[in-house]
Amino acid sequence: LKDLAARKTPRDFRAKLAQLSWRAGLPEAGLLALHAIVRPSERKKKEASVEEKLEYAACLMRLGATPEALGILDSIAEPTPKTSLYRAFAYFGSWAYQEAIPLLQEFLEAPGEDPYQRLVAKVNLASALVFERQEVPATALLRELLHDTSLHKHTRLLANALEISATHAVFLGDLAGAGTFLDRARTLLKESNTVDRLFIDK
């Protein structure tokens, strides 16, 4: 995959390849695909697109290089709603939930974004609201997420919403409710051998 990314993939497809790489747990391959574009030498100066910078930054986040990722995002001259989303992801990496909240809200207020990406943003927003102890908006958003992810059969996002709901219930002192949410998540993922399942079983 790294060889493919570095030598054989046309530039038009490298941002997408980088995205697939970090989502598959191979952020190094994504960095290799985009490094010469986002970090060009002085002799081969190239202008990276917004999408190329976003996916390069996402790969850096996956490797724990949050400050460098934020630097890449800061270099985007004309930010898009997706820039706000990725910046929020970077803040999540450093537990800065309060800073992430307005960025996620900004992304969700933008028209025309991909419906699944909007659900991902809502799951992250719910998590941030829970950890910042914003009880009322967290409760409302989690209720909405549990309905929407179940309706559209987004199993992984539903499991995430159930896990966050369990954490929220613990913070509210409802241990029985937390157990119910975790049981539902465990049942949902019983056939899955994912990181989510391992976390739920801890």
pLDDT-derived band at 200, boundaries 50, 70, 90: very low
pLDDT value at residue 94: 84
Backbone angles phi, psi at 2, to 5 degrees: -65, -40
Q: Is 97-202 a CATH 1.20.120 domain?
A: no
Q: How far is residue 38's CA from residue 50's CA, in Å, rounded to a whole number?
A: 10
Question: Which burial class, exposed, middle or buried, applies to 44 when counting CB atoms under 10 A from its CB (0-12, 13-18, 19+)?
Answer: exposed
Q: Which amino acid is at 76?
A: I
Q: Given a cut of 60, is residue 104 above it in pLDDT?
A: yes
Q: How far is residue 50's CA from residue 53's CA, in Å, rounded to a whole number?
A: 5
- 1-19 pLDDT, tens per residue? 555 545 578 888 899 989 8
Mean pLDDT of 164-189: 95
What's the mean per-residue pLDDT of the chain?
88
Q: Given a cut of 60, is residue 162 above it in pLDDT?
A: yes
More confident residue, 136 or 198: 136
pLDDT value at residue 10: 83
pLDDT-derived band at 23, boundaries 50, 70, 90: confident
Q: Given a cut of 50, is residue 92 above it in pLDDT?
A: yes
pLDDT value at residue 7: 58
Q: Given a cut of 50, is residue 114 above it in pLDDT?
A: yes
Q: In which residue ranges of the chain is CATH 1.25.40 found?
A: 97-202
Element (H, E) at 82: helix 81-93
